[in-house]
Every structure is written in C-alpha cells, then in structure tokens.
C-alpha cells in the first residue's frame, strides 16, 4: 500500500514537474528578454529543430531590436525568420502577426510601403475567410493609414486607390463600435482626423483627433501620433505656441519609444513653427534637429543596410514558399507511396520521365530565381535613387530655402543693432547659418548629382572638384579622353556612384599625395581608371568589404568589369569598363 502510495506521489510529482517544464518551455511574448537569453534559446531550438520555439524566439528578438534600433535589418530579418517558422507549424495567427510587424515598419518607408500593402492584403484575405471581423477592421485601418498618408499612389499598381476612403473609414468606425474594440476605435478616429487634415478641414480634423486623444491614454504610439497631429492642426490654425507645446509632448513619448519616424516629423513641425514666429535661433536649432533626424531615419547605416537586404528578403520569401510546397509534397508522397511503388514496378521508364521533368522544373526554378535577383537588384537601386533624390530635394529646396530666409532676416536686422549687445550675438549666428547652408548643399550634392543633366564628364568634374576642396593636401587630377557618347541617365548615375565610392575610399584610407581619375570614352564603351599613389592594401586581406561589394554589384548589373590592383605601399588602381550596348533591358 505505502509503496503504491509512494509510487503514486512520485508519479504525480514528476507529472507536475513535466507540466511545469512544459509551461515555461517557450518564452512568452508578454515579457522582455535579454538578447543573450534569446540567442541561447535560438541555438537550442535550432539543434532540436523546434520550429515553434524558433518562431517565438525570433519574434521576440525582432521586438527587442525594434526597441533599440527601430527600423533596422536586424529587426526585419528576425521577423522574417519568425514568419517562416510560424508557417512550418501552421500557426496562421502567428504568421500574420509577425508579417504585420514587418508591414508596420515598411508602411512609413517610401521605398517599401508597397510590400506593406501586399502583407496587409494577404492578411485581410485570410481573415475574410475566417470571418474575423475585428481583425478585418484592424487590417482595413492599416491599409487606410497608408492610403491617407501616401498620396503618391500610382493608379496602375494599386487597387487600394479605388477605395472610397471616407466611406470605408466610417464603416470601420461603426464596426469598431459594434465590437466595442477601444484600441482600433482609437486608431480609426486618429485616421479620420488625419483624413480631414489632408482635406484641410481643420475643425473636423481637430474633433476626431481629440476623440482619439481622449482614448489614447496608455497607448504610447497613438498618443504621440495624435499629439503630433493636433500640433499640425494648431500650427495651421496659427496657434504656434500651442502647436509647439503639443509637439514637445509628442517628442517626449516618441523619444521613449525610440520611434525615429515620428521623431523627424515632430522636429520638422517645431522648426516650421519657430520659423513662422521669426525665432531664428530656435528655428535653426530645430531645422538642424530635423536634418539629423531625417539623416538618422533615411540615411543611417541600419536603414541603408536594410535596403541591401531587399534581395535576400525576396529570396527568403521565395525559399519559404518553396519549402512549403516541398513539405506539402512530402505529405502527399506518403499517401501515394503505394502508387509510386506500382509505377516503379510497372516500369522504370515512367520513373525516368518523372525525374527528367523534375530536373526541368529545377532548371526553370533556377532561372526564375536569377531573373528575380536581377529584378530586385533593379528595384533596389531604383528605390534607393528615388529616395535619395527625394531627400536631396527636401534638403535643398526646403531646408536650404528656410536657412537662407533666416540668414536674410538676420542681414536685414543687422544694421539696427550694429553696436549693441544683440548685434554682437548676430555675427556668430550668421556664421553658423552659413555653415549649415554649406552642409545642406554638400549633403544634397552627395545624394543627387545635379550636374548629370549636363553630361557625365560635367558631373564627374564637379565630383572631383568637391574632392579637391575637401582634400587640399592631395592633388586630384581629372582627365577625359575621346568624345563623350550618349550615356543613358540610369547608367551614368550608376557609374557616377561607383566613382564616388572609389574616391571616398581613396580619401578615407589611401593617404595619397595624388589621386587621378581618367575616363576613356569610346562609342561602345567607357573605361575608367581611378588610381592613387597611397598606401594600398593587401587584396587577399581586404577581399570584398561592403564598399567593394557595392561597387562590384553595380558594375555586374551594368554588365561591366572591375579590377582592383593594389598591394601594400604600391597605391591602388581601380579599373572599370562598361559596355554601352547589351545592357539589361526590359526589366521594368
């Protein structure tokens, strides 16, 4: 009896143990984990081949990175990894939740919001099938958010444009009320406010923004967003002080949340207010902050890196899809095992045919993959250039013009205060603005070579001149040979970027006395030699760093060739030739 009892208790105890273990086996999404802990979990799950564990751990790691860096390649790639694993365990809710996390980041990125639309739509379709009305409402709001905030929709690519935004919004608000879902209702009111703000109906904009604001206690993102939105409204109503107060509140929250996207909008809002108030020092401070924030958001190493991840993401999507198909195939294979055996027995001829077909399919797959790689390369470069162009234009025409207006204002007041204390303060201020102007121009040039309009040589000449001014101790020589042929703008821009990168590298690392840039024009080819007499490097050691890889991928894309010639203390020569025929065409 007592033995049985002992065994019973032992059994119960061990059961409890196992139960307890099973419960904290997976980390929970509600808690914060340290990166180390997550990394070690991922290692364990990987060894075990535990897809569920991997899905959760990668999602948590993505959240962790989002909190630190916001929109970075680490954030996005972890979410992708998580999504892949959710697919493996057939957890649709998990899969769509993680895709939404990615889409939320993409939705405010000009180069990527199209992916966000795809992801949201994919989820919307799924929840339509499941008849999950609350989810439907939430994804509708996400899509509306893009529709309202991006007014640069091209009609061809998007059916979303055909939505009557106000009608869908109103319906969704009704739905949210019906389901008593406060969170999405708050979001919906905020969007309705944004909608009216776009339509310049300030009264309705204010009304709905405030309705949303009243509900957004304890929802930091919406709180910050609504405060920003209300600030914009007050600014348009000319209540500048009120607007600044709201922006400052919003700034506090966005800062804690580390939301870099909102941050740049908040800084810009304040800068505009101070400019309108003629408060030059403050305006200058905030324009600089805006420039910094824009730089951080668009131009940070992280975001740049995210861009170059584009191809791998596309490939990752493709791989996930392929794995899925294969998995399903293997399941089906079990069912038709008997049939396959029959076929085998019936004759090996059938089997061979099947194999040949499979191989053909593989070949087609490979081809499709290569094509996709080229396509994503093109869209990557296009997107990058488009965005650079936009930022450059914003900086040059927007920030630049404001800065020069501030300078003019100081110039016009200078005489009045000449011998006073204020007058003495104006002098360094004017100097600071001059420097800010110069910086703005330089950043803008780097982003968008204006002189390409006048031809490749003109643009390259400017580039060399800039390098010469920046490096007074180095002699920078620029020679062209032959007549410049017609070079398409896309090619010219890409080759320009390559030379820019090489010059940057030379300026940074070479310690040269002379850098020479030579261009040889032929009717069907351009050859470029950028050579310095600096310290050189060991080609075996610095094989393909990030910069070199960038150069190679652009040249590869143009069907050209690039050779690095360098050795320690022997200087460096980069030799490039680009054919002007047989370029990749019809990739659109």
Cβ closer to other proteins: 360 or 538?
A: 538
Token output for 18: 């196992």
DSSP-assigned states of every residue in 431-442: HHHHHHHHHHHH
Q: Note the residue count of the chain.
A: 588
Q: Is 277 in the site for other proteins (CB under 8 A)?
A: no
Q: For the window 480-509, what string marks contact with other proteins as x by the rule CB under 8 A?
A: xxxx--------------------------
Separation CA 68–CA 187 (nearest Å)? 24
Q: Which is nearer to other proteins, 263 or 517 (CB)?
A: 517
**Nearest alpha carbon to residue 353 among 343, 368, 339, 367:** 343
* Token digits of residue 442: 């330089």
> Residue 219: how many CB atoms within 10 A of its CB?
17
Identify whether the C-beta of residue 532 lies closer than 8 Å to the C-beta of residue 512. yes
Report the nearest approach of other proteins to the CB of residue 199 (Å). 23
- Using CB under 8 A, which residues numbered 459 to 478 contact other proteins? 459, 461-462, 465, 468, 477-478
Here's the x/- map for other proteins, 396-435, by CB under 8 A: it reads as xx--xxxxxx-xxx-xx-xx--------------x--xx-
Name the one range near other proteins by CB under 8 A: 96-104, 226-234, 340-348, 479-487.
479-487
**Which residue, 136 or 574, is less far from other proteins as judged by CB?**
574
DSSP state of 495: H
Residues 506-535 touching other proteins, rule: CB under 8 A, are: 516, 518, 520, 527, 529, 531, 533
- Integer Cα distance of 376 and 243 in angstroms: 42
Considering the complex, state which of residue 11 and residue 563 has its C-beta at the smaller distance from other proteins. Answer: 563
Q: Where are the beta strands (DSSP E) in 437-581?
A: 475-481, 514-522, 525-532, 561-566, 572-579
Which of residues 168, 236, 315, 575 is near other proteins by CB under 8 A?
Answer: 575
Q: Which of 93-101, 153-161, 378-386, 571-579 is the region at the interface with other proteins (rule: CB under 8 A)?
A: 571-579
Q: Which of 94, 97, 114, 96 is nearest to 106 (CA)?
A: 114
Q: Which stretch binds other proteins (CB under 8 A): 112-120, 174-182, 220-228, 569-577?
A: 569-577
Helices (H) and strands (E) in the chain, counts: 23, 5
Listed ranges 2-10, 72-80, 371-379, 447-455: which one lies at the site for other proteins (CB under 8 A): 447-455
Measured from the CB atom, the residue of 371 and 434 that comes closer to other proteins is 434
Contact predicate 66/105, CB 8 Å: yes
**Comparison of 92 and 561: residue with beta carbon closer to other proteins:** 561
Rounded to the nearest angstrom, the gap between the alpha carbon of residue 134 and the centroid of all alpha carbons in its chain is 29
**Total residues in contact with other proteins, by rule CB under 8 A:** 52
CA distance 90 to 271: 49
Report in angstroms how near the CB of residue 478 gets to other proteins at its nearest. 8
C-alpha 182/C-alpha 201 separation (Å) is 25
Using the rule CB under 8 A, which residue among 121, 509, 561, 583 binds other proteins?
561
Q: Kindly provide the b/e burial profile for residues 403-413, where b requires at least 16 CB atoms within 10 angstroms of the residue's own CB.
A: beebbeebeee
List of residues contacting other proteins (CB under 8 A): 396-397, 400-405, 407-409, 411-412, 414-415, 430, 433-434, 437, 441, 445, 450-451, 454, 458-459, 461-462, 465, 468, 477-483, 516, 518, 520, 527, 529, 531, 533, 561, 563, 565, 567, 571, 573, 575, 577
């Amino acid at each position: 009896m007592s033995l049985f009892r002992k065994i019973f208790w032992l059994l119960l105890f061990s059961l409890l143990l196992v139960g307890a273990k099973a419960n904290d086996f997976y980390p929970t999404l509600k808690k914060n984990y340290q990166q180390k802990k997550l990394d070690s979990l991922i290692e364990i799950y990987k060894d075990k081949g535990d897809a569920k564990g991997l899905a959760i751990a990668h999602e948590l790691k993505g959240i962790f990175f989002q909190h630190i860096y916001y929109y970075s390649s680490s954030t996005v790639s972890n979410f992708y990894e998580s999504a892949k694993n959710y697919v493996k365990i057939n957890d649709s809710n998990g899969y769509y939740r993680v895709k939404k996390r990615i889409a939320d980041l993409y939705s405010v990125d000009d180069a990527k919001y199209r992916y966000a639309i795809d992801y949201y739509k994919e989820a919307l379709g799924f929840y339509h099938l499941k008849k999950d009305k609350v989810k439907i409402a939430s994804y509708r709001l996400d899509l509306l958010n893009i529709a309202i905030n991006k007014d640069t929709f091209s009609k061809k690519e998007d059916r979303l444009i055909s939505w009557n935004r106000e009608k869908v919004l109103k319906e969704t608000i009704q739905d949210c009320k019906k389901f008593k879902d406060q969170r999405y209702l708050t979001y919906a009111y905020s969007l309705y406010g944004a909608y009216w703000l776009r339509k310049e109906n300030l009264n309705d904009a204010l009304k709905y923004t405030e309705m949303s604001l009243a509900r957004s206690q304890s929802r930091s993102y919406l709180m910050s967003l609504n405060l920003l939105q209300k600030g914009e409204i007050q600014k348009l109503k000319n209540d500048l002080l009120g607007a600044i107060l709201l922006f400052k509140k919003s700034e506090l929250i966005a800062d804690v949340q580390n939301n870099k996207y909102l941050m740049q909008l908040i800084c810009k809002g304040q800068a505009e207010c101070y400019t309108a108030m003629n408060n030059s020092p403050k305006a200058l401070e905030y324009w600089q902050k805006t420039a910094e924030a824009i730089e951080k958001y668009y131009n940070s190493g992280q975001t740049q890196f995210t861009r170059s991840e584009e191809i791998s993401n596309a490939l990752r999507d493709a791989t996930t899809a392929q794995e899925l198909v294969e998995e399903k195939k293997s399941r089906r294979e079990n069912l038709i095992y008997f049939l396959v055996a029959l076929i085998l027995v019936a004759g090996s001829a059938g089997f061979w045919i099947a194999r040949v077909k499979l191989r053909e399919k593989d070949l087609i797959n490979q081809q499709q993959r290569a094509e996709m790689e080229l396509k994503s390369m093109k869209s990557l470069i296009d997107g990058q250039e488009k965005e650079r162009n936009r930022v450059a234009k914003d900086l040059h025409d927007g920030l630049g013009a404001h800065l020069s207006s501030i300078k003019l204002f100081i110039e016009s007041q200078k005489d009045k205060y000449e011998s006073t204390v204020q007058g003495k303060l104006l002098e360094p201020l004017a100097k600071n603005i001059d420097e800010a102007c110069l910086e703005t121009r330089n950043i803008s040039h780097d982003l968008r070579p204006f002189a390409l309009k006048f031809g490749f040589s003109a643009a390259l000449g400017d580039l060399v001149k800039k390098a010469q001014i920046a490096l007074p101790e180095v002699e920078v020589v620029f020679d062209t040979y032959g007549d410049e042929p017609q070079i398409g703008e896309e090619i010219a821009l890409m080759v320009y970027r390559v030379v820019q990168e090489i010059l940057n590298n030379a300026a940074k690392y070479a310690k040269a006395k002379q850098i020479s840039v030579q261009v040889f024009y032929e009717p069907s080819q351009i050859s470029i030699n950028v050579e310095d007499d600096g310290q050189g490097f060991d080609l075996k050691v610095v094989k393909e760093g990030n910069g070199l890889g960038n150069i190679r991928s652009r040249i590869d894309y143009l069907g050209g060739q690039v050779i690095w010639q360098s050795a320690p203390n022997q200087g460096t020569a980069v030799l490039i030739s680009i054919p002007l025929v047989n370029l990749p065409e019809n990739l659109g």
